[in-house]
Structure 1
Amino acid sequence: MSTAHKNLSEFATDDLPDISAKTFAIVVAEWNHEVTEKLFEGAYQTLLQYGAIPENIIRANVPGSYELSYGSQVFAQKENVDAVIALGCVIQGETKHNDYINNAVAHGLTQVSLKYDKPVIFGVLTPNNQQQALDRAGGIHGNKGDEAAITSIKMLKF
């Protein structure tokens, strides 16, 4: 379904597991800081809303979205981390850099998740322009950070 008329922050919350004893790492790309900070805030507040303890939410910054895979791996390999949420934003721009970066990050995060057998959530926006990014980071389409946090919680059921 197209997100043209969809709020990304609308999701089913039935049967969520108890996360009060779970530890989450949120890895945030510094590039497109205005957007990624809003994604972080959405993810953080959603984790708290559904029972996470503030002390059990770890934040780490990486320079850009390309570095999310390695940053996520650092936390995924830790036994005390139950799930990792990777947040970034790669805007289309005038070159195809976004195609290469987005593909590499998606592949990298998948590999980290499978290697360490724990949820590593792709919370990377891939918009065509800055306004689309803002619309998905707390704007008219909700907050992709919220969605990433809920996804991490749901994946802890497995």
Structure 2
Amino acid sequence: MQKTEGHLIGLPDSRFALVAARFNDMIVERLIEGAADALRRHGVPEEQIEVIRVPGAFELPLAVQRVADTGRADAIVALGTVIRGGTDHHQHVAAECTKGIAQAMMVTGVPVAHGVLTVDTLEQAIERAGTKAGNKGAEAALSALEMVDLMRQLEL
């Protein structure tokens, strides 16, 4: 049986876009730092990492789609934080963000890692942005790294 899977290697010519929301910036900035650090630790040169900011999580899919369409990145890491409030607004934002990110990936064929936190409390967001639960931005970046390598293997 033949097995094909991606590896966590940053090829020197691979380019990554971190598309990140400004809303809940205190948390998202930690996700960006975690993602960039993970990429650098796996051999991606600093100049091959681009950060693109959008107003909030709802705007992420459009920017992700545009970046993917231009070919300026081999993979995209979408980063944001949606925190439950007093209404169900967060559910709509999170659902449309996730659906739009997935659609952009499927339409363009460019891997998009989902690093958008959907949490009930600020404390949960802090835990997932580098404390108790690790850094979900870093985890998403590792997924993007693996997918770039896998996509290149599947082209052969």
Q: Is the 8 A contact 2:10 2:39 kept in 1?
A: no
Look up the equivalent residue of 2:65 and give its one-letter code: Q
| 1:89 counterpart = 2:81 | yes
Shift of 1:102: 0.8
What per-residue deviation string (whole Å, max 9, x for no partner) do you get for residues 106-130 of structure 1?
Answer: 1100110011101011110011000
Q: Percent identity?
A: 37
The alpha-carbon distance between structure 1 residues 111 and 26, as it changes in their structure 2 partners (threshold 3 A), is: same
More helix per residue: 1 or 2?
Answer: 2
Secondary structure at the aligned position of 1:133 is classed as helix
What residue in structure 2 maps to residue 7 of structure 1? none
The alignment of Structure 1 onto Structure 2 pairs a total of residues equal to 145
| 1:152 counterpart = 2:144 | yes
Look up the equivalent residue of 1:135 and give its one-letter code: E
Q: Is the 8 A contact 2:9 2:42 kept in 1?
A: no
Gaps of 5+ in 1: 1-13
What residue in structure 1 maps to residue 31 of structure 2? 39
Secondary structure at the aligned position of 1:151 is classed as helix
Cα distance in 1 for partners of 2:60, 2:13 equals: 25
What residue in structure 2 maps to residue 103 of structure 1? 95
Secondary structure at the aligned position of 2:115 is classed as strand
Cα distance in 1 for partners of 2:98, 2:139 equals: 16
What residue in structure 2 maps to residue 9 of structure 1? none
What residue in structure 1 maps to residue 123 of structure 2? 131
Q: Is the 8 A contact 2:57 2:81 kept in 1?
A: yes
What residue in structure 1 maps to residue 17 of structure 2? 25
What per-residue deviation string (whole Å, max 9, x for no partner) do you get for residues 76-102 of structure 1?
Answer: 112231001110000011111111011
Cα distance in 2 for partners of 1:80, 1:100 equals: 30
Shift of 1:18: 4.1
Look up the equivalent residue of 1:29 and give its one-letter code: A
Query: TM-score of the superposition, structure 1-length normalised?
Result: 0.88
Cα distance in 2 for partners of 1:29, 1:86 equals: 8
The alpha-carbon distance between structure 1 residues 47 and 18, as it changes in their structure 2 partners (threshold 3 A), is: closer
Cα distance in 2 for partners of 1:19, 1:129 equals: 37
